[in-house]
Amino acid sequence: MNFLLLLDLFWSFFKVGLFSFGGGYAMIPLMEAELITRHGWLTAKEFIDIIAIAETTPGPISINAATYVGFRLAGITGSATATIGVVSPSLFILLALGTFLLKTIKMKDPRVESIIRGLRPAVIILILLAAFSLGKTGLVDGTTFAIAAALFLGSVLFKVNPFYLLAAGAVLGLILFPYY
């Protein structure tokens, strides 16, 4: 097993976990920068496929993606390494912050609420960046744009369950791109 590859996997996913607030979608631009731009481990098409698979499987998108990418690059050891890398920052931060908050600051402290209010717009921007980045790769022609628009309208206007939106996207893909 290539120790340097494992170290790179751990460190790349550790940075993703450390510098992205707001969950899986906020992590997508950081994962893209690490996996495609910095290391060249994936192509843009492979990345969007991994995000699609990670989104449709149970569990957080970042953990699913880390597990898959790690496995693809270095087998089970790589899978475990990347997954531990992406969850470690959250674990350490929660332990430290939880201990600190329990000992010193009450959750109604105006400073804590100010920090949280400041983080919300940053998370929204990261999610929008992820949508833009995925859109550049996933919306490649009129058909894919029409599918996305129809599913978006189904979500916004009719409050369709996300599971059904994903299922509809998969069925439309099978129908409209049978031999892609």
Of 5, 62, 7, nearest to 30 by C-alpha is 62
Quick one: which of 87, 94, 118 has its CA closest to 24? Answer: 87
Which whole-number Å values give the CA distances from 84 to 34, 63, 90, 111, 165, in the listed order? 16, 9, 10, 31, 31
161 Cβ contact partners less than 8 Å away, ≥ 6 residues apart: none
pLDDT tens track for 4-48: 999 999 999 999 988 876 666 778 888 999 999 999 999 999 998
CB burial of residue 168 (10 Å; 0-12, 13-18, 19+): middle
pLDDT tens digits along 164-173: 998 899 899 8
Least confident of 17-26, 88-97, 134-143, 168-177: 17-26
Global confidence as pTM: 0.62
